[in-house]
Amino acid sequence: MKILVVDDSKLNLVTAENQLKKIPSITQIFLCQESQNVESLIQEMQFDIILLDVVMPVLSGFDILKLIKSNAQYDDIPVIMFTSLSDEGSFEKCFNLGASDYITKPIIPIEFNARIKAAIENRAKSIKLKKMILDAQKQNNEFKEINLQLRSTQFHLVQSEKMAAIGQLAAGVAHEINNPIGFIGSNLEILSKYLNRISEYLLFIEKKQNELKSISNAECDRIINETMEKYNKLKIKYILDELSNIVSDSENGVERVKNIVQSLRVFARSADDDEKETYLLLDIINSVINISINEIKYVAKVKVDFDRELMVYCNKVQLGQVLINIIVNAAQAIKSQQNNTLGEISIGAYIKEEYLCIKIKDNGPGIPKDIISKIFEPFFTTKDVGQGTGLGLSVSYDIITKKHNGLIEVDSIVDNGTTFTIKLPTYISK
Ligand SMILES: Nc1ncnc2c1ncn2[C@@H]1O[C@H](COP(=O)(O)OP(=O)(O)OP(=O)(O)O)[C@@H](O)[C@H]1O
Ligand SMILES: [Mg+2]
């Protein structure tokens, strides 16, 4: 323990030193006779205890005590007043200013030893406590750090799981649909050919009936009339017209399903694959609309309006994922308004400065000001439990900013709608 004794009397200093030397736990004793030097001494050395005279020229013990207790760097050093004063007022002042104890002069060895030892014990305890607090703080910071790391790992795990699940789902659905749609398509083709033949045959019959009419034979007339009647009764002409409509509608449907399967296949690739290429933006947007059509069609019309030639350099699966998240959010927001009329989601794109900007605008309920800063946070959702994981936009943010060096911005007016803008750098676009 390092102790500093401050007193303007040399005799007092020496007497105190002699007493202190007898206490084994005191390893260093510093004596100071000039009160004006105390502050610099304290700043320089790390004292454990200060023994401080009260009445001194230049700076009094009160002044020095005030100085010590007002500086957070050393205000915890216990100060024992070393005094020959005996009036109560001075004692009260010392304690009010933060003194820990007092020792009277001239020194009474038993009192001196007891008070110094008590101060040493207190100091040792407070040093131990301080160390414990520091250790606890350090541990707390480490826990905080670990917690942050855990959250981030959890986020990335859920994110990649979600992406992988979408990829797997897309691959599975595409595969399952592809086979039946294949044979439905070829059956329709055969059906259409057969229908043509049946039509041709019926026309042939009609022609032959006309030929028979000209022969003018009562028996022939009867047979012709009967077949005509049957033809009319069974509405064969109507059925033939309808059948060809049905076949062409079905072919149309098969074509659409094929497009969806094609779009699903785009997403059936691994989400870990960060590969980027240049694509026609319209192709990606069409695939995305095809896939999310079920979420959208009953709540909103989708308007796509931009230069068809616009190209985008991106990872197709990842950008598709972002667009689906934003479009599905827009559809869900419009749906939450429970209006009877269809809402509108419009998708625009243009080049501005060094960015390709994709804007997705909806006329839904908008996002209140107090939550707009939170929507990109992982797990933030306003949807009911089980309806939203709150990951859609945080995953999108990660994909656009980290994986594509781009920006994602939101602009919203309550009761008016929301616009998300994705900005992808064009300097890598070809
Ligand atoms: N177009 C929008 N209009 C209004 N609110 C929106 C819109 N897009 C996002 N939000 C708000 O942002 C929140 C976070 O969206 P995010 O896509 O991250 O999660 P989620 O849709 O709730 O769940 P998840 O997408 O994981 O199923 C939503 O819960 C919603 O409150
Ligand atoms: Mg969402």
Q: Is 325 in the pocket of ligand 1 (CB under 6 A)?
A: yes
Residues 367, 332: contact at Cβ < 8 Å? no
Residue the block writes with tokens 């040399």:
10
Identify the band that residue 378 occupies on the pLDDT scale cut at 50, 70 and 90.
Answer: confident
Cα–Cα distances in Å, from 255 out to 182, 184, 188, 189, 226? 10, 11, 11, 12, 42
Q: How far apart are CA 427 and CA 31, in angstroms?
A: 72
Sequence length of the chain is 430
pLDDT reported for residue 430: 42
Residue the block writes with tokens 């009936």:
209
Q: Is 333 in the pocket of ligand 1 (CB under 6 A)?
A: yes
In the chain, the percentage of residues whose pLDDT exceeds 90 is 56
Burial 160-171 (b: 16+ CB within 10 A, else e): eebbeebbeebb
Residue 147 Cα to ligand 2 midpoint, Å, equals 25
Q: Walk across the sheet containing 49-53 and list its strands.
A: 28-32, 2-6, 49-53, 79-83, 101-104
Nearest residue to 23 via CA among 5, 41, 35: 5
- The ligand whose atoms approach the alpha carbon of 365 most closely is 1
Q: How far apart are CA 140 and CA 138, in angstroms?
A: 5
Burial (CB < 10 A; 0-12, 13-18, 19+), residue 257, is: middle
Weakest mean pLDDT among 77-86, 134-143, 346-355: 77-86
For 59-75, the pLDDT digits (tens) are 999 999 999 999 988 89
For 209-239, the pLDDT digits (tens) are 888 888 878 888 888 889 889 989 999 889 8
Burial (CB < 10 A; 0-12, 13-18, 19+), residue 46, is: exposed
Residue 391 Cα to ligand 2 midpoint, Å, equals 7
Q: Is 159 in the pocket of ligand 1 (CB under 6 A)?
A: no
88: which residues sit within 8 A by CB, 6+ positions away? none
User: DSSP string of 50-70?
Assistant: EEEESS-SSS-HHHHHHHHHT
Collect residues with CB below 5 Å from ion ligand 2. 329, 392
pLDDT reported for residue 224: 87
pLDDT reported for residue 50: 95
3-class DSSP assignment, residue 333: helix
Average pLDDT estimate for 94-113: 91
On the question of pLDDT at 111 being above 80, the answer is: yes
Compute the half-sphere exposure of residue 259: CA atoms within 13 Å on the CB side of its CA.
17
Identify the band that residue 252 occupies on the pLDDT scale cut at 50, 70 and 90.
Answer: confident
Average pLDDT estimate for 397-407: 92
pLDDT reported for residue 429: 43
Residue the block writes with tokens 């026609």:
280
Give first-to-last CA distance, the chain, whole Å. Answer: 73
Domain spans of the chain, in order of start: 2-107, 151-267, 273-430
Residue 330 Cα to ligand 1 midpoint, Å, equals 8
> Which among 381, 409, 414 is the best mutation to test ligand 1's pocket, defined by most ligand atoms within 8 Å of the CB?
381
E-strand spans in 274-342? 277-280, 300-305, 311-314
Q: Is 390 in the pocket of ligand 1 (CB under 6 A)?
A: yes
Residues 373, 383: contact at Cβ < 8 Å? no
- Report residue 279: phi and psi, to 5°: -130, 165
Q: Which amino acid is at 135?
A: D
> Which among 329, 346, 380, 414 is the best mutation to test ligand 1's pocket, defined by most ligand atoms within 8 Å of the CB?
329
**Yes or no: is domain 2-107 CATH 3.40.50.2300?**
yes
> Which among 372, 393, 394, 400 is the best mutation to test ligand 1's pocket, defined by most ligand atoms within 8 Å of the CB?
393
273-430: what fold? Heat Shock Protein 90 (3.30.565)
DSSP category for residue 217: -
Average pLDDT estimate for 286-294: 88
User: Whose CA is closest to atom 31 on ligand 1?
Assistant: 382
pLDDT reported for residue 272: 56
Which is higher by pLDDT, 260 or 27? 27
Q: How far apart are CA 155 and CA 394, in angstroms?
A: 9
Pair of tokens at residue 93: 């002042």
- Report residue 193: phi and psi, to 5°: -65, -45
Q: How far apart are CA 362 and CA 165, in angstroms?
A: 27
* This prediction's pTM: 0.56
User: Whose CA is closest to atom 29 on ligand 1?
Assistant: 381
